[in-house]
Amino acid sequence: MTDTDLARQVRDVSRLTGEFVLRSGRTATEYFDKYQFESDPELLDRLAERLAVLIPEGTEVLAGLEMGGIAVVTALGRHAKLPCAFVRKQAKAYGTARLAEGAEVAGRRVLVVEDVVTSGGQVVISTEELRRLGAHVDHAVCVIDRQEGGTEALAKAGIMLRALLTRADLEAAAA
């Protein structure tokens, strides 16, 4: 499967049109329903296989962000043979009461894994929290970069974003 074929498949299963409120509060007329590609085991596996080559050398832990990044990080961990941490938006008040469950992040080189990046806000927030826990984070990967300022916002926070697909890739695949 070529990169264009993969982009077309992701676009075909996940692109919705209408009026959608994004996490940033902005309204969009186009939305990528990540759960559509995350719930297809064959497509998710192909995406994870391609994402694995974007992992920076020296990465010790993959950290998937709640909720969409969890399916992606689990599939990616299989291909990369790296342990995973599952990062909540807020630590729970019960059980382990941890923000990051699974693999230990303190003192380790951690790669943040997200499904779709728009403004980059949640990646920045979660990276700050992981850094407070002692993680060394300077990169993030995502399946789709909507190219709406996320890359720039992450760069300002000292995070380099590597995207498997961009909005431009998805648009080109439709042609």
Answer yes or no: is 114 a known binding residue. yes
Answer yes or no: is 26 a known binding residue. no
Answer yes or no: is 88 a known binding residue. yes
- On whether the CB atoms of residues 97 and 129 are closer than 8 A, the answer is no
pLDDT at position 92: 81
pTM for this prediction:
0.94
Question: Is the Cα dihedral 112, 118, 122, 127 positive or negative?
Answer: positive
pLDDT at position 175: 79
Answer yes or no: is 148 a known binding residue. no
Residues of the domain holding 133: 3-174
Distance, first Cα to last Cα, the chain: 17
Which amino acid, 168? A
Which amino acid, 55? I
Answer yes or no: is 118 a known binding residue. yes
- On whether the CB atoms of residues 1 and 46 are closer than 8 A, the answer is yes
Q: Quote the tokens at residue 122.
A: 């949640």
- 74: domain CATH number? 3.40.50.2020
Number of domains in the chain: 1
Q: What is the pLDDT of residues 102-144, one digit of tens each?
A: 999 999 999 999 999 999 999 999 999 999 999 999 999 999 9
Q: Which residues contact 119 (CB under 8 A, 6 or more apart)?
A: 22, 23, 24, 26, 148, 149, 150, 153
pLDDT at position 94: 86
Answer yes or no: is 21 a known binding residue. no
